[in-house]
A and B are shown apart, each in its own frame.
Chain A
Amino acid sequence: MYIFIEALRSAMAAIRAHRMRSFLTSLGIIIGVASVITVISLIQGLSQSITRQFEGLGGNALTVHAKNDFKDVMRGKVNYLQFEDVEQLRGHVDGIRELSPAFMFQSGEIRYGNQTASSRQQLAVTSAFMEVNGSYPRLGRFLSESDNAAARRVCVIGEKIIEMLHLPENPLGEFIQFSGEWFKIVGVLEKKGEILGMSQDDQVLVPFRTGQSLIGNTHKPSMSITVSISDIGRTEELKSRIATVMRQSHRLHADQKDDFEIESSDQFLKSFETVTTTVTLVMGGVVGIALLVGGIGIMNIMLVSVSERTREIGICKAIGARSRDILMQFLIEAVTLSMLGGAIGVLLGYGLGHAIASVIPDFPGAYVPWWAVALSVMFSAGVGVIFGVLPAAKAAKLDPIEALRYE
């Protein structure tokens, strides 16, 4: 134990005696670890913020929408969900807490006074949309059952619409025009922010039946039905039940493929996680190469150091150092060197990640997970051991007489 502490002390002294050389030696490891920590901190920050936004969208929801092969569309055969599907699901599937059909009734201009703007999401929805999508009003109220029953010409707008149309701060009671009719604003939604650079706040929502009356019965809507589940453990069961009901409703034969798709709302999240995992793995490969290069640098300098200190090794052996004492001393020196590099790399990467995240506008804050730090330091230590063994063994094997004679 005392030998271990002394070896560590002597390693620190040797590193301090050659500060510049030690720094340059660890540079490979510093750069490798710093770059990995930077990228991981950015990706993890991004992934955390996206996860949080998706939790806001309601994690325990299923969305049913029409499935259209590109081939079929080219033949003019386009599948739609039908309004009856909503009633079928409501009547024949247990375990649905809320059912929220929504369709785009137009995608065109909105007018207020002489201002015009276009919205990506002009949706006809029921009152259930608020709960299922987590879209709550900041001002006024959400669309109500009676709005729907009476097909009133009212709407709820996203925060961004106020800005786009130069509406007053409090736009409640103002009228905006789209689809050739005037709608009264009854509510403004809470700000949702952006997902991957796309604003979620340019929605215009009208009651479902109002939407139906706008497009008329002839037009086939591009509709999706989102259901929220009361028991999240039964998601898969519910999924297959919905599929069965949908097939009956669409009168599909056993040999026909589904003309609809059911997605859980965390599917996008899952595919995003796949992307981050891939990036993390690729970075792992990059850091592997960087650490290999860094390790070779350390081995190189350790070999030089062993040659330089041949006489010292001879002295230590003459006064009673065993081979393993010498081996340990040089091994500890290599590991100290590489771990110092790793630690500096972690700090540097941490700083860089936060600096980059704060420089890019709207980028979520960087986040360094503890496992990334632990792994980096462990890997650096491992590199120190692997590339330190050869020089240390060379030192330990030296013959004391020849080592003492070495000039």
Chain B
Amino acid sequence: MITLTGITKQYQMGDQTVHALQGIDLHIERNELVAFIGASGSGKSTMMNIVGCLDRPSAGTYFLNGKDVATMASDDLAQVRNEEIGFIFQSFHLLPRHTALDNVAQPLIYRGIPPSERKRMAREALVHVGLGERMHHRPNELSGGQRQRVAIARALVGKPSILLADEPTGNLDSATTREIMALIKDVHHNGQTVVMVTHEPDIAGQCQRIVRLQDGRVLSDQRVAGA
């Protein structure tokens, strides 16, 4: 489903050229649960941005569901993000003035779905993540775990191909981390492809497949037995 071939990425930082990715070849199948792991500066964030269609590689090809997304214009990439990718971020990234329900419905606006249908879908997604009771609360009235649940509901509401999680438990305590990981694994068991970026071996250990990055290259790519 995801096929990366010879992906490189350089960017300019001051007068220095940073080689963030130096030739990545990777294939991810449907319904995999993959973790990218690596030290800071290993290129895992850049990797995440490229897989999430937030950024384009400097060279190489990226096929997502058969579509060549490496060369798309930015508005087309926006549409790909809207339809194919659901994001979860470390710091939740919810819209502060919107209620939980409106936050979840937001991506559906860009898809042109009528308001009543939008509300119905958003409500369903919130019930699914266990937040049926707090739909009309704003992010600042919710706990960290609840906020991340809203973010997960928002990521899944549009039925994306990939759930992309960037350090999803980085800002959460250990009890909440367990809850959120359980939720993510539950989503995966229901057939969702999940790609996660983390620096915690603990979290990565709960995934099926661990891709270790170092200096912009794949250091190791191993399957975890029994996960």
Contact, CB under 8 Å: B74 / A318: no
| A contact residues around B97 at 8 Å (CB) | 13-14, 17
Contact, CB under 8 Å: A320 / B112: no
Taking the closest CB of chain A, its distance from the CB of B204, in whole angstroms, is 23
Question: Which single residue of chain B is at the shortest CB-CB distance from A326?
Answer: B78
Contact, CB under 8 Å: B49 / A317: no
Question: Which single residue of chain B is at the shortest CB-CB distance from A319?
Answer: B107
Question: Which single residue of chain B is at the shortest CB-CB distance from A17?
Answer: B97
Contact, CB under 8 Å: B75 / A322: yes
Contact, CB under 8 Å: A317 / B109: no
How many of chain A's residues have a CB under 8 angstroms from any CB in B?
24
Among the 9-residue stretches A165-173, A239-247, A308-316, the one with 4 or more Cβ atoms under 8 Å from chain B is: A308-316
Query: Per a CB cutoff under 8 Å, which of A17, A311, A321 touches B110?
Result: A321
Question: Which single residue of chain A is at the shortest CB-CB distance from B75?
Answer: A322
Question: Which single residue of chain B is at the shortest CB-CB distance from A321?
Answer: B110
Asked whether A179 is an interface residue with its Cβ less than 8 Å from the other chain, the reply is: no
Contact, CB under 8 Å: B106 / A319: yes
Among the 9-residue stretches B82-90, B123-131, B170-178, B192-200, the one with 4 or more Cβ atoms under 8 Å from chain A is: B82-90
Taking the closest CB of chain A, its distance from the CB of B179, in whole angstroms, is 23
Chain B interface residue number, banded:
20 to 34
Which residues of B from 65 to 109 have beta carbons under 8 Å from A? 74-75, 78-79, 81-83, 87, 89, 93-97, 106-107, 109
Task: Report the number of A-B residue pairs with Cβ-Cβ less than 8 Å.
Answer: 62
Query: Per a CB cutoff under 8 Å, which of B81, B115, B158 touches A318?
Result: B81
| A contact residues around B89 at 8 Å (CB) | 404
Contact, CB under 8 Å: A311 / B93: yes
Question: Which single residue of chain A is at the shortest CB-CB distance from B164?
Answer: A318
Q: Which 3 residue pairs are nearest across A and B when measured between Cβ atoms?
A: A320-B82, A319-B107, A320-B110
Other than A3-B112, A311-B93, A320-B107, give 9 A-B pairs with Cβ distance below 8 A: A5-B115, A314-B93, A315-B93, A316-B106, A320-B81, A320-B83, A320-B111, A322-B75, A401-B55
Residues of B within 8 A of A (CB): 49, 52, 54-55, 74-75, 78-79, 81-83, 87, 89, 93-97, 106-107, 109-115, 154, 158
Q: List 15 A-B contacts (CB under 8 A).
A: A2-B115, A3-B109, A14-B97, A312-B95, A314-B93, A315-B94, A316-B95, A318-B52, A318-B87, A318-B93, A321-B110, A322-B78, A323-B74, A323-B75, A404-B93
Residues of A within 8 A of B (CB): 2-3, 5-6, 13-14, 17, 311-312, 314-325, 400-401, 404
